[in-house]
Structure 1
Amino acid sequence: MKPSIVVVDDDPIIRMDIREMLEEHGYSVTGEAKNGQEAIEITVKLKPDLVIMDMKMPIMGGIKAARLIRKLQNSAVLILTAYSQKDLVQEAREAGVTAYLVKPVSEENLLPAVEIALSQKEQMDTLKEALKELEQSIEGRKIIEKAKGIVMRAYSVDEEEAFRRMRAASMESRISLSKLAECILEGRAERIFGMARKG
């Protein structure tokens, strides 16, 4: 499935041109907006992969909208602008903008910018997922360590023996080590350890 894109510009002709370029290359344009405020609302509602947004718009500009979108939603933002001053580029970067494109927009410069923005979003999503898994793993280790301390005290055994008993109980009862650790911390592991010791 092709990534979903929202196009934001106060000029309907530019929106139509961008939509046509994207759809010709198989992208799915799921929504349009004419200012930053509308962009935020439609992005929160549709959760697109990418928002292509003009920098200068009435009501709310692209930079402010990009900053709010990045806080509320995990969408990449590609900013379009007629200006390429360093301070604007820096401001866009600080707002969490993924890519930056100077107008006029042509197929030759739009499509590579879209691909780069989507690729960076994919990399960020992968990193976030890996970080989440790492945090869960660390949390699991902490629970196992706490449970091991309880087993050491309860059975007057050393750390290695406590861990061996926990692993045996985990395999015997067919539950993960972290799940067993949770049972130990909640005081619900006596039956499990009884089963493991019988075997």
Structure 2
Amino acid sequence: MGENRVILVDADSVWRKNVKSMLTKYGHWVVGEAGDGLSAIKLVRSREPDLLIIDAALPGGMDGLQVAKIVHEDKLAPVIATSSSDQHGILEKAKEARVFALLIKPVGEASLLPAVELALANYQEITALEQKIKDLQETLETRKIVERAKGILMETQGLTEAEAFKRMQRQSMNKRVNIRLVAEAVIMAHSLNI
């Protein structure tokens, strides 16, 4: 709990001060404050916070949910949105913007702190799962390339599958490069010889 970098965005400076006081009491650091959407995006990009807490209805050309959507799409931080009232459709708009929580003002410690902790934990879990998916896709792509290169070696050199793999593996160790690079080189050399 605590020690996370937070940016607060709300046109009401008194509200920001109150929320900042609640967050700092529990060890979080407020690393930036803004009153409009454009400033919020600039702050998030420059300060790289762990969390953004933003009012859904900001003045100016960009409201808080538009900012939240951009922050989500660019994978900058999890977002907690706040709203002055349970406006018609605000929940649906918050879902579309992919916010991690929607708090109705006035926001107290009893609702803010659990929302902060859950948003941070869920964001970390999602980030870890996305990385795992990326790693698995990379592994699968490498396996496909190695299989294709083995097929080429088997066809052109008259090797068995095991011999073709061993040859690429030995080359990989001798050159101190990933086996995928060796396989790609085999495929490229074969395509140049055709």
TM-score tier by shorter-chain length is 0.7 to 0.9
Deviation at 1:14, TM superposition (A): 0.6
Specify every segment of 5 or more residues in structure 2 that has no aligned partner in the other structure, as ranges: none
Q: Secondary structure at the match of 1:57?
A: coil
Provide the rounded CA distance (Å) in 2 between the counterparts of 1:38 and 1:165: 57
Residues 4-153 of structure 1: pairs in structure 2 closer than 5 A: 4-59=5-60, 60-85=62-87, 87-153=89-155
Provide the rounded CA distance (Å) in 1 between the counterparts of 2:135 and 2:49: 24
Query: Contact 1:44–1:73 at 8 Å: present in 2 too?
Result: no
Counting aligned pairs with the same residue, the percent is 36
Query: What value does the CA root-mean-square deviation take over the aligned residues?
Result: 2.1
Deviation at 1:171, TM superposition (A): 4.6
Corresponding residue pairs, total: 188
Query: Contact 2:150–2:164 at 8 Å: present in 1 too?
Result: yes
Q: Secondary structure at the match of 2:103?
A: strand
Provide the rounded CA distance (Å) in 2 between the counterparts of 1:121 and 1:174: 37
TM-score normalised by the chain length of structure 2: 0.87
Deviation at 1:165, TM superposition (A): 3.2
Deviation at 1:98, TM superposition (A): 1.2
Query: Contact 1:7–1:53 at 8 Å: present in 2 too?
Result: yes
Provide the rounded CA distance (Å) in 2 between the counterparts of 1:172 and 1:56: 61
Q: Secondary structure at the match of 1:29?
A: strand
Specify every segment of 5 or more residues in structure 1 that has no aligned partner in the other structure, as ranges: 189-199
Residues 159-170 of structure 1: pairs in structure 2 closer than 5 A: 159-170=161-172
Which digits, 9 at most, give the CA deviation of each residue in 1:118-138, with x for residues without a partner? 111101110111111112112
